[in-house]
Amino acid sequence: NEPVLEIKGLDVDYGVGAEAVHAVQDVHLTLHRGEVLGLAGESGSGKSTLAYGLTRLLPPPGVIRGGEVIYHPDDGEPYDVLQLTPKQLRDFRWAETSIVFQGAMNSLNPVHKVSTQLMDVIKAHDPRSTRASRLARARELLRLVGIAADRLDAYPHQLSGGMRQRVMIAMALALEPRVVIMDEPTTALDVVMQRQILAQLVELRERLGFSVLFITHDLSLLVEFSDRIAIMYGGRIVEQARGVDLYRDALHPYSDGLLHSFPALRGPRRELTGIPGSPPDQRSLPLGCAFAPRCPHAFEPCAGHVPVLGAPADRDDTTRTVACWLHPAEDDATATLSLS
Ligand code: ATP
Ligand code: MG
């Protein structure tokens, strides 16, 4: 259970001053070697901001306010991604950690063949490679993601959405990164296609040994495919557990709401409407738990104090953490008592 990426106390804002949006707040999250970690939460909860922040791809006016992102390479000492120079960062991306953006399948260049685009990624990091070796590698990568060699010369518009998504995955894998981040790559695709692509990624992970951070709204997909799941709300991680544990026994009322606002695994897809109320305004966050105003179980401490993410004292399980006053950690339990 060695860590490959450790996010420690990450804070990300959009803008500065009173109007700043606190999109990611004090996030602690660890990705272990070879695991699939799912990240779920409603629209606006900060999932993409977390992914862009940790890879230093935040668009302006995004600013990292604090924290560390410790990367553990296969060989060599761990280092903080937030401290890398622009040159080091270019080497880090694709080769150590690659990211497939939200809506990435539409970001392929329409005027170039998919093989050319794949070969360009390889060339950028290995300028001395021969054209023949790049072509062979592009063919191999496409085969890996289930695209026949006769599609090498296709242009993006000649491929289906699912195939374009596979090309994006092939690109992300081109330099054999240790970490692959997928930001909702499947939103625009139908349910069957989504499952196929995620299943394929999980299988590739087993073969190639990389770790995956998979971001989606669709918790049912994560329950099926990820080892662990982290739930985000209002810029914070509110619960983190093994997929099976979360499914059987979600501790945070928000996780519970998310789970029950989705239909059965293979049922029809619909928008998240199960939790009444709307997400918090991240410019002026409430003093206490951001979910309290929508929470059916809120009681006295919830509105006044932000619960700390920790191992719940009422479960004998060190693999899970939750930030909820209903399930305080050992040391927080005393804090609750002293409040009442
Ligand atoms: P979705 O599921 O819709 O992709 P998300 O969980 O990825 O949502 P983010 O896109 O990270 O959420 O947004 C987090 C918060 O930051 C939201 O309140 C959003 O309005 C805000 N935000 C995102 N991008 C910007 C921006 N460029 N400028 C200002 N605020 C932004
Ligand atoms: Mg997003």
The string of pLDDT tens digits covering residues 236-276 is: 999 999 999 999 999 999 999 988 875 544 444 444 456 88
Q: How confident is the model at residue 338 (pLDDT cuts 50, 70, 90)?
A: very low
Closest-CA residue, ligand 1 atom 29, reads 14
Ligand 2 midpoint to CA 15 (Å)? 18
Q: What 3-state class would DSSP assign to 161? A: helix
Distance CA 221, CA 270 (A): 13
- Is pLDDT above 70 for 52? yes
Per-residue pLDDT, 259: 87
Q: Which residue has the tokens 């660890």?
A: 30
Residue 309 is encoded by which pair of tokens?
A: 């993410």
Ligand 1 site-directed mutation target among 11, 48, 221, most atoms within 8 Å of CB: 48
Ligand 1 midpoint to CA 44 (Å)? 5
Q: What is the mean pLDDT of the chain?
A: 88
Share of the chain above pLDDT 90, in %: 63
| Residue-wise pLDDT tens digits, 214-234 | 998 778 888 989 999 999 999
Q: What 3-state class would DSSP assign to 129? A: coil
Per-residue pLDDT, 194: 72
Ligand 2 midpoint to CA 183 (Å)? 7
Distance CA 90, CA 99 (A): 13
Per-residue pLDDT, 149: 85
| Residue-wise pLDDT tens digits, 152-211 | 999 999 998 888 888 998 999 999 999 999 987 555 566 677 788 788 889 999 889 999
Q: How confident is the model at residue 142 (pLDDT cuts 50, 70, 90)?
A: very high
Q: Is the ipTM of this complex over 0.90?
A: yes
CA 327 to chain centre: 25
How far is the CA of 8 from the CAs of 26, 66, 185, in angstroms? Answer: 7, 9, 25
Q: Is 41 in the pocket of ligand 1 (CB under 6 A)?
A: yes
Per-residue pLDDT, 263: 52
Query: Per-residue pLDDT averaged across 304-332, rounded?
Result: 91
Beta-carbon contacts of residue 243 (< 8 Å; ≥ 6 apart)? 38, 222, 223, 224, 225, 226, 227, 228, 229
Q: Is 44 in the pocket of ligand 1 (CB under 6 A)?
A: yes
Query: Per-residue pLDDT averaged across 12-23, rounded?
Result: 94
Ligand 1 midpoint to CA 14 (Å)? 9
Distance CA 102, CA 183 (A): 5
Q: Choose between 9 and 219: higher pLDDT.
A: 9
pTM, rounded to two decimals: 0.91
Lowest mean pLDDT among 68-77, 122-131, 272-281: 272-281
Q: φ, ψ for residue 21 (rounded to 5)? A: -95, 120
- Is pLDDT above 80 for 54? yes
